[in-house]
Amino acid sequence: MLVPMARYFEVHPDSPQRRAITQVADIVRAGGVIAYPTDSCYALGCLIGSRDGIARIRSIRHLDDRHHLTLVCQDFAQLGQFVYVANPVFRAIKAATPGSYTFILPATKDVPRVLQHRGKKTIGVRIPRHVVTQALLAELGEPLVSTTLLLPGQDEPMTQGWEISDLLGHAVDAVIDSGDCGTEPTTVIDFAQPEPEIVRRGAGDTSSFE
């Protein structure tokens, strides 16, 4: 489905302009899909309750419903609304957040079934360190459903906001450009089993989980 050309927001990486953040949040609340920077890569995001937004994200990346999407949360308290964190792993996850990690954990009833891993009832969650992402999450008051902005046929995620706008301007509703945020995705750790498993080694240091 084609949409009008995406709105393009140049946002300072350390002192994000409140007006721009508010405008992006309004677009997200209206059901929009955005491209935004994180502390590992650019990502695509929409509201947790937006079935259309989730479908559009999957369409942009050519993902089927078996590919896991992630809930990007503002803080540990918000994360705790959507996943169960057992006492033995609480300290390890708490010490690693915010940061470039995605944790797979059992989902609570607040996570739509369409986002849960089939059969396991789990969901990936993360708390980014990026100032702009944090400002947006604070304005929204709820997490973003997200996936790394890695397009079909590309080997690395996109890193430049203007390039994303040129290429995906008719596929998303807004692009936040805060400069280069790197190409290395998060480290993914599965805590939904007796022993934690490092599913993907990425930007986050794995030494404390081994």
Q: What is the CATH number of the domain that holds 172?
A: 3.90.870.10
The one-character DSSP state at 37 is E
DSSP string, 43-94: EEEEETT-HHHHHHHHHHHT--TTSPPEEE-SSHHHHHHHB---HHHHHHHH
Domain count across the chain: 1
Average pLDDT over residues 187-198: 91
User: What per-residue confidence (pLDDT) applies to 30?
Assistant: 96
- Establish if 15 belongs to a structural domain: yes
Contact, 11 vs 177, CB < 8 A? yes
- Establish if 1 belongs to a structural domain: no
- Establish if 2 belongs to a structural domain: no
The closest of 103, 68, 71, 88 to 191, measured between CA atoms, is 103
The closest of 105, 115, 139, 119 to 11, measured between CA atoms, is 139
Name the residue range of residue 173's domain: 7-209
- Establish if 71 belongs to a structural domain: yes
User: What per-residue confidence (pLDDT) applies to 136?
Assistant: 98
Give 3's pLDDT tier (boundaries 50, 70, 90). low
Residue type, 25: A
pLDDT at 1 over 80: no
- Establish if 81 belongs to a structural domain: yes
Q: Alpha helix (H) ranges present in the chain?
A: 18-29, 51-61, 76-82, 87-95, 131-140, 161-168
Q: Summarize the chain as % helix, strand, coil (round to 5).
A: 30, 20, 50
Q: Measured between alpha carbons, how far is 163 from 177 in angstroms, rounded to an integer?
A: 10
- Establish if 72 belongs to a structural domain: yes
pLDDT tens digit sequence for 84-142: 998 888 888 999 999 999 999 999 999 998 899 878 899 999 999 999 999 999 999 99
The one-character DSSP state at 38 is -
Give 4's pLDDT tier (boundaries 50, 70, 90). confident
pLDDT tens digit sequence for 135-170: 999 999 999 999 999 998 888 888 889 999 999 989
User: What per-residue confidence (pLDDT) applies to 146?
Assistant: 97
- Establish if 128 belongs to a structural domain: yes
